[in-house]
Amino acid sequence: MGKSRAVTSVDVARRAGVSRATVSVVMSGSHTNIRVSARTRDRVLKAAAELGYAPHPAAQALRRQRTGSIGFVPRPGRGSPYDNPIPYLLSTHLVEAATRRGFHIIEATAETARAAGSTDLGRFLLSRRVDGVVFDRPDTSVVIETMVERGVPVVQVIRPLPDALSPTVAVDPGPGIVAAVNHLVSLGHRQIAYVGVGGSHRVERARLDSFCDALALCGITPQSHDIQLGSDYRLDEGLRLTQRLLDLPGRPTAIFAAGDSLALGVLRALYAAAVHVPSQMSLISYDDAFAAHLYPPLSSVVQPIQAVAEHAIALLTAGLEPAPGAESAPVHLVLPTHLIPRASTAIPRSAPGLGDADLAAALN
């Protein structure tokens, strides 16, 4: 017991009757022009297995000048996945995608940096010798530049800076929102409200614009008081905006909530006002983070966050390879959204015909 001396490549080499170099080549499929005979190879592998040998990551990192770690700079002020699901989703999927490729994620927030004794994010990232960085912060151009200058590959996701010189991966709200509006319109809805977030950021604008455009394509002009814009995506805002909506004369028959957590507030307001979903009000959310877990399960526009993470990591690790061609222009990916219909949408309450219960059931 206790830790007997760790087994190293020397032990394996000795046992297999070869040199350490050979062991190295066999174990990590090196890119040199060295060939190893199948027999030798097997001997090495066998010896390694018997000894329980695995290369020491720190030694590899030191020698290869690659730590295998990828920095991730999340949006600040992200709450729990129940408050604000997208940052959580992004983080999860980044970790997963990185792990699958043999990397690991180091989340770098201002606090992390401080805890590590760094004065700022850039220094912290550099001190950890990250092989690349994923940015989900619109306000870090200085840090981004620092990294780029030092030759560290960078990719910006979800809310990239306008004229990013580094690769970006963003989401196009269009397809999903158009599908959502079409879905509602084809059910017979003509007055559809938008509960979302205002401000001038492109992401918020794009969401609202997609909605208005989709409506316009259906020949519908939204009434201005059916567009309710709050200051952020929290539950409270959804609640407040929906209450306002319900207080106005001429209630809409359907609501599009520009985020799952907003939808939580919308639902709460509707419950409180005893407005049943979907028989008296249809509801579609944006995000599809926990829409399926609500009651009723919400029809929702899926943000392809997993794909965003996947592409971000792929871009980064591709950038790590010794570039075959010359420096090409940075890639800018835009991934589409799509709609998943569930049980929160039905024909409008004023519509004649079937009973509500049948409808709700039929739409499951």
Partner DNA sequence: ATGAAAGCGCTAACAA
Partner DNA sequence: TTGTTAGCGCTTTCAT
| Site residues, DNA (CB under 7 A) | 6, 8-10, 17-25, 27-28, 30-37, 39-40, 53-56, 59-60, 62-65
Q: How far is the CB of 41 from DNA (least distance, A)?
A: 7
Instruction: Enumerate residues 288-347 that contact its own copies by CB under 8 A.
Output: 289-290, 293, 295
37 vs 221, beta carbon nearer DNA:
37
Using CB under 8 A as the binding rule, whether residue 235 contacts its own copies is answered as: yes
Using CB under 8 A as the binding rule, whether residue 120 contacts its own copies is answered as: no
Q: How far is the CB of 334 from its own copies (least distance, A)?
A: 26
Q: Which does 18 bind (CB under 5 to 8 A by kind): its own copies, DNA, none?
A: DNA
Residues 123-152, one symbol each (x = binds its own copies by CB under 8 A, - = not), give x--xxxx-------------------xxxx
Contact assessment for residue 282 and residue 266, using Cβ atoms and an 8 Å cutoff: no
Q: Which does 172 bind (CB under 5 to 8 A by kind): its own copies, DNA, none?
A: none
Residues 42-71, one symbol each (x = binds its own copies by CB under 8 A, - = not), give ----------x-xxxxxx-xx----x----
Q: Which does 36 bind (CB under 5 to 8 A by kind): its own copies, DNA, none?
A: DNA
Longest dimension (CA), the chain: 87
Using CB under 8 A as the binding rule, whether residue 225 contacts its own copies is answered as: no
| Other beta carbons within 10 Å of 29 | 7
Using CB under 8 A as the binding rule, whether residue 3 contacts its own copies is answered as: yes
Q: Which residues bind its own copies (CB under 8 A)?
A: 1-3, 52, 54-59, 61-62, 67, 80-83, 88, 95, 99-100, 102, 104, 106-107, 112, 115-116, 118, 123, 126-129, 149-152, 235, 264, 267-268, 271, 289-290, 293, 295
